[in-house]
């Protein structure tokens, strides 16, 4: 180092030590806190609260027609509204008090959220290609759902998976082809209830969940269980999976504060990350075992002649012969998602239908009348009768409207760009 350079260094060091005096550092930190506090309070004063205010302030040069909504608390916004099992009712009363008739804005920590119960606005949102993604959830990522259909980012991978499942799971042909399997499970449910006798109490939910899981296991994994046989080893597998699904449903449905307040994430206060890591290991083991069995069956059938596709595992494994080769983890994630989504939603919906018709005997009688008229008193109901059972269909739709069987916000959509909804 030359002499002039050394002198410059000495000069800067002396200046810095003057600037970095304890008083100056304290003043600097206090000013920073003051600016941060003022900005937080200013952003909090906007309708919809802190996250919305921050957005409006950062984009002050645009002219917005602000969306009405509650301010909530500074920093956390309206997290308190959502951490209740009756969050939908709380949202409704807040919408009333803030005069948010068609659409309401609110802040969940750092996340800007809107909610509507107006059918036209809902249609506008759901039909818009802008709302093609889902918000990032720590639990969904930890449980590998970002590699499955529901949480995969919008793009070729997601479109391909939707196409594959539309053809092989949800198509009319596939639904007709699996009718016998559903009929068998329905018969098993009836015989389980009958075997319990009139005087025994039982939880209808347990039977519905096992039946629904059985149905998904046939469809996805090609596995069949007998609901009426409790000692069967296969049924232990069903119970094991039932627990995994239940735990997954709880984790995905829980409001995770870390999703909206990222600086809380490393603390994992709700233990969601820890529980997800444990669960995902068990799911990996369970599903990998079934995939391996399918691979073995496929390779042995290659020796004896071509094998027909039986279930969704076969379909996904067959993709390796096309351009859409999936990794083992992708395959596990997709299969697990199908089981996970298809099981509880159906069981919960049927439970609500039963609860509603028990409470409304007049409606139950009308349903019986329709069944007697369309199907006959002694005949079992067939799926081909459904188009003629218009009253039954209306009841199911009304229950779906009153009790949508999924955790609130777990079907939320994420806008991939800024957009205008209902003039805002």
Which residues in this chain contact ligand HEM in the complex, by CB under 6 A?
Answer: 149-150, 162, 169, 337-338, 341-342, 345-346, 349, 405-406, 411, 413
**E strands along 75-226, which residues?**
104-108, 111-115
CA nearest to 333, candidates 151, 133, 136, 134: 151
Q: How far is the CB of 88 from ligand HEM (least distance, A)?
A: 14
Distance of alpha carbon 277 from alpha carbon 318, whole angstroms: 29
Q: Which residues contact 198 (CB under 8 A, 6 or more apart)?
A: none
Q: How far is the CB of 35 from ligand HEM (least distance, A)?
A: 40
Q: Which is nearer to ligand HEM, 94 or 211 (CB)?
A: 211
Orientation angle between helical segments 179-196 and 204-221, nearest 10 degrees: 150
Q: How far is the CB of 68 from ligand HEM (least distance, A)?
A: 25
Q: Which is nearer to ligand HEM, 282 or 413 (CB)?
A: 413
Distance of alpha carbon 276 from alpha carbon 371, whole angstroms: 45
Q: How far is the CB of 386 from ligand HEM (least distance, A)?
A: 15
Q: Which is nearer to ligand HEM, 151 or 225 (CB)?
A: 151
Q: Which is nearer to ligand HEM, 253 or 405 (CB)?
A: 405
CB nearest ligand HEM: which residue? 342
Q: How far is the CB of 145 from ligand HEM (least distance, A)?
A: 9
CA nearest to 221, candidates 189, 167, 161, 181: 181
Q: How far is the CB of 37 from ligand HEM (least distance, A)?
A: 38
Strand duo 111-115 + 104-108: pairing: antiparallel
Q: Which is nearer to ligand HEM, 287 or 346 (CB)?
A: 346
Distance of alpha carbon 361 from alpha carbon 371, whole angstroms: 15
Beta carbons within 10 angstroms of residue 146's beta carbon: 16
Sign of torsion over alpha carbons 380, 386, 391, 393: positive
> Could you tell me if residue 360 is left (phi over 0), alpha (psi between -120 and 50 degrees) or otherwise beta?
beta
Q: Which is nearer to ligand HEM, 44 or 286 (CB)?
A: 286
Q: Which is nearer to ligand HEM, 205 or 274 (CB)?
A: 205
Q: How far is the CB of 363 from ligand HEM (least distance, A)?
A: 19
Q: 212 exposed, middle or buried (CB, 10 Å; 0-12, 13-18, 19+)? A: buried
Distance of alpha carbon 133 from alpha carbon 15, whole angstroms: 52
Q: Which is nearer to ligand HEM, 135 or 406 (CB)?
A: 406
Q: How far is the CB of 398 from ligand HEM (least distance, A)?
A: 13
Can you list the pairs that 175-181 forms with residues at least 24 positions away whose Cβ atoms lie under 8 Å?
Answer: 176/383, 178/218, 178/219, 179/382, 179/383, 181/215, 181/218, 181/219, 181/224
Q: Which is nearer to ligand HEM, 18 or 402 (CB)?
A: 402
Beta carbons within 10 angstroms of residue 151's beta carbon: 23
CA nearest to 57, candidates 45, 71, 69: 45
Q: How far is the CB of 206 from ligand HEM (least distance, A)?
A: 18
């Amino acid at each position: 180092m030359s002499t002039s350079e050394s002198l410059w260094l000495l000069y800067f060091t002396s200046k810095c030590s003057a600037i970095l005096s304890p008083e100056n550092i304290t003043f600097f930190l206090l000013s920073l806190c003051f600016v941060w506090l003022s900005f937080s309070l200013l952003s909090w004063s906007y309708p919809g609260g802190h996250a919305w205010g921050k957005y409006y302030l950062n984009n002050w040069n645009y002219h917005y027609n602000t969306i009405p909504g509650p301010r909530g608390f500074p920093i956390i916004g309206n997290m308190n509204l959502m951490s209740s099992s009756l969050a939908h009712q709380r949202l409704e009363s807040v919408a009333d008090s803030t005069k948010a008739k068609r659409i309401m804005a609110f802040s969940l920590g750092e996340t800007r959220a809107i909610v509507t119960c107006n059918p036209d606005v809902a249609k506008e949102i759901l039909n818009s290609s802008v709302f093609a993604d889902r918000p990032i959830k720590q639990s969904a990522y930890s449980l590998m759902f970002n590699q499955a259909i529901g949480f995969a980012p919008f793009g070729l991978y997601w479109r391909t998976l939707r196409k594959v499942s539309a053809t092989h799971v949800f198509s009319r042909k596939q639904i007709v082809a699996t009718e016998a399997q559903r009929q068998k499970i329905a018969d098993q449910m009836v015989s389980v209830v009958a075997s319990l006798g009139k005087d025994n109490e039982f939880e209808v939910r347990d039977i519905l969940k096992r039946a629904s899981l059985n149905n998904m296991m046939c469809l996805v994994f090609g596995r069949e269980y007998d609901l009426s046989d409790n000692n069967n080893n296969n049924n232990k597998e069903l119970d094991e999976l039932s627990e995994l699904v239940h735990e997954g449903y709880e984790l995905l449905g829980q409001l995770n504060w870390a999703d909206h307040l990222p600086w809380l994430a490393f603390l994992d206060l709700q233990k969601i990350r820890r529980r997800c890591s444990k669960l995902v290991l068990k799911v990996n083991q369970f599903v990998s075992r079934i995939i391996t069995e399918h691979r073995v069956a496929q390779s042995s059938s290659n020796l004896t002649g071509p094998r027909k596709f039986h279930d969704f595992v076969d379909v996904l494994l067959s993709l390796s012969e096309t351009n859409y080769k999936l990794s083992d983890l992708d395959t596990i994630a997709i299969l697990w998602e199908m089981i996970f989504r298809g099981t509880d939603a159906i069981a919960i919906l049927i439970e609500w239908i039963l609860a509603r018709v028990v409470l409304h005997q007049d409606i139950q009688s009308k349903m019986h009348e329709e069944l007697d008229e369309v199907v006959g008193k002694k005949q079992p109901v067939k799926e081909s009768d459904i188009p003629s059972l218009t009253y039954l269909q209306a009841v199911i739709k009304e229950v779906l409207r009153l009790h949508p069987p999924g955790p609130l916000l777990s079907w939320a959509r994420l806008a991939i760009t800024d957009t205008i909804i209902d003039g805002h």
